[in-house]
């Protein structure tokens, strides 16, 4: 049985990665519908939280349905990170996660996210202070190292464990590695197989389907898998991977009616949570994946990408459902509501 502090999981855990402008409550909701075991907030600036930034505070929102849920914070100094962790704890998440992995220039250039990986002493100091400041289990998400000359994750993992983190997620790229390059799991495996390590090690990077999940699980022995970009417009990836790990069979993509239904759920909840304008812009990154594989879909995609009206989007989605007549019953199941829109 897998555990993160007091949290227990009866089966092999699949986690939704924290992703800016992606892993918001509406998207976490649909991923949870399809079996994501743990979901994480978008990353939240420590400085933003302690300044009472409306945007940062809103990212603390979550529903009971999402549990277990982690709130992820990032920053480059002990004091603000401690204050932010205490603030995040008032939302009563199951986990507080520290982001030492974000490679985005505006974050890393300020010595936060993966930019802190060239200062291991500071990483450890921040982590130790946060662990000691809160009662909620603290986890860390990081990368293999700062650059190709500093692949120091084995040492970093030991030192973070020694100051009390409950689990460690490792993304198999360096701060300087582009996403076009494949993730390197060899050092993730080295951390997992280090006899000094006793906390759960979760692997992240290039987990895109059942076969890749099985390969990383069995080859490197990690305790769980975190799924990031492959979940865009693809919340059923969790149920598909679970099915493959348990049976060795690949499930087909859901039929068009199901894809339309689930996309409507995400859209409606997005509008309710962040307003129509922002919801329309942020869901655009999901449309291509929601309707992946449909022939001659480009005209529909262009219309979905251009419209500024939720009503028009709903109309387009209904057209899609009518155009691509599903010939088979829905291949995915969920516990979601059916009365939306």
Query: Are residues 111 and 172 located together in one domain of the fold?
Result: yes
Asked whether residue 40 falls in the same domain as residue 139, the answer is: yes
How many domains does the chain divide into? 2
139 vs 327, more confident: 139
Whether residue 145 is contained in a domain is answered as yes
For the chain, what is the mean pLDDT? 93
Q: Does residue 85 lie in a domain region?
A: yes
Predicted confidence band of residue 329 (pLDDT cuts 50, 70, 90): very low
**Residue 184: which domain range?**
2-247
Do 277 and 222 belong to one domain?
Answer: no
Instruction: Check if the beta carbon of residue 105 is closer than 8 Å to that of residue 89.
Output: no
31 is catalytic: no
Q: What is the pLDDT of residues 148-171, one digit of tens each?
A: 888 899 999 999 999 999 999 999
Instruction: Examine the pLDDT at 312 and tell me if it is beyond 70.
Output: yes
Same domain for 276 and 177, yes or no, is: no
Please check whether residues 207 and 293 belong to one and the same domain: no
How much is the pLDDT for 178? 75
- Is it the case that residue 21 has pLDDT exceeding 60? yes
Q: What is the CATH number of the domain that holds 314?
A: 1.10.1200
Kindly state whether residues 97 and 181 are assigned to the same domain: yes
Same-domain check for residues 286 and 208: no
Residues 295, 158 within the same domain: no
Cα–Cα distances (Å) from 299 to 46, 254, 302, in that order, read 42, 21, 5
Q: What is the pTM of this model?
A: 0.92
State whether 277 and 188 are in the same domain. Answer: no
Given a cut of 50, whether residue 330 has pLDDT beyond it is no
In a domain, 93, yes or no: yes
pLDDT score recorded for residue 13: 96
pLDDT band, very low/low/confident/very high, at 326 (cuts 50, 70, 90) = low
- Of 247, 264, 297, the one marking the end of a domain is 247
Last residue of a domain, one of 222, 247, 272: 247
* pLDDT tens figures, 37-88: 999 999 999 999 999 899 999 999 999 999 999 999 999 999 999 999 999 9
Q: Which residues contact 207 (CB under 8 A, 6 or more apart)?
A: 213, 216, 225, 226, 227, 228, 230, 241
Q: If you write DSSP's letter for every residue of 136-193 in order, what string do you get?
A: S-EEEEEES-SSTT---HHHHHHHHHHTT-SEEEEESS-TT--TTSPP--HHHHHHHT
Are 149 and 283 found together in one domain? no
The active-site residue, picked from 98, 102, 116, 156, is: 102
What are residue 261's phi and psi, to 5 degrees? -60, -50
Q: Is the confidence at residue 129, as pLDDT, over 80?
A: yes
């Amino acid at each position: 049985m897998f555990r993160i502090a007091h949290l227990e999981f009866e089966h092999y855990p699949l986690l939704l990665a924290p992703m800016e402008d992606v892993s918001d409550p509406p998207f976490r909701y649909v991923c949870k519908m399809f079996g994501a075991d743990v979901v994480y907030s978008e990353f939240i600036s420590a400085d933003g939280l302690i300044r009472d930034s409306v945007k940062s505070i809103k990212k603390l929102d979550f529903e009971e349905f999402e549990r277990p849920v982690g709130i992820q914070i990032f920053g480059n100094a002990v004091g603000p990170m401690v204050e932010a962790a205490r603030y995040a704890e008032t939302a009563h998440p199951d986990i507080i996660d520290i982001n030492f992995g974000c490679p985005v220039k505006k974050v890393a250039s300020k010595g936060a996210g993966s930019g802190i990986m060239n200062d291991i002493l500071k990483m450890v100091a921040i982590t130790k202070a946060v662990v000691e400041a809160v009662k909620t289990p603290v986890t860390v998400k990081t990368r293999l190292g700062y650059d190709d000359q500093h692949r120091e994750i084995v040492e970093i993992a030991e030192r973070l464990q020694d100051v009390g983190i409950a689990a460690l997620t490792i993304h198999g790229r360096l701060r300087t590695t582009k996403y076009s390059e494949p993730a390197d799991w060899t050092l993730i495996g080295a951390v997992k197989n280090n006899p000094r390590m006793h906390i759960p090690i979760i692997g992240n990077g290039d987990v895109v389907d059942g076969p890749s999940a099985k390969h990383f699980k069995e080859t490197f022995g990690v305790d769980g898998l975190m799924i990031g970009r492959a979940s865009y417009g693809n919340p059923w990836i969790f149920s598909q991977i679970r099915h493959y790990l348990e049976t060795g069979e690949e499930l087909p993509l859901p039929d068009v009616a199901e894809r339309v239904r689930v996309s409507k759920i995400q859209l409606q909840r997005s509008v309710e949570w962040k307003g129509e304008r922002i919801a329309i812009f942020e869901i655009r990154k999901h449309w291509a994946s929601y309707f992946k594989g449909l022939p001659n879909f480009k005209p529909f995609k262009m219309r979905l990408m251009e419209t500024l009206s939720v009503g028009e989007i709903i109309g387009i989605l209904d057209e899609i459902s009518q155009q691509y007549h599903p010939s088979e019953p829905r291949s995915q199941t969920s516990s979601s509501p059916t009365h939306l829109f």
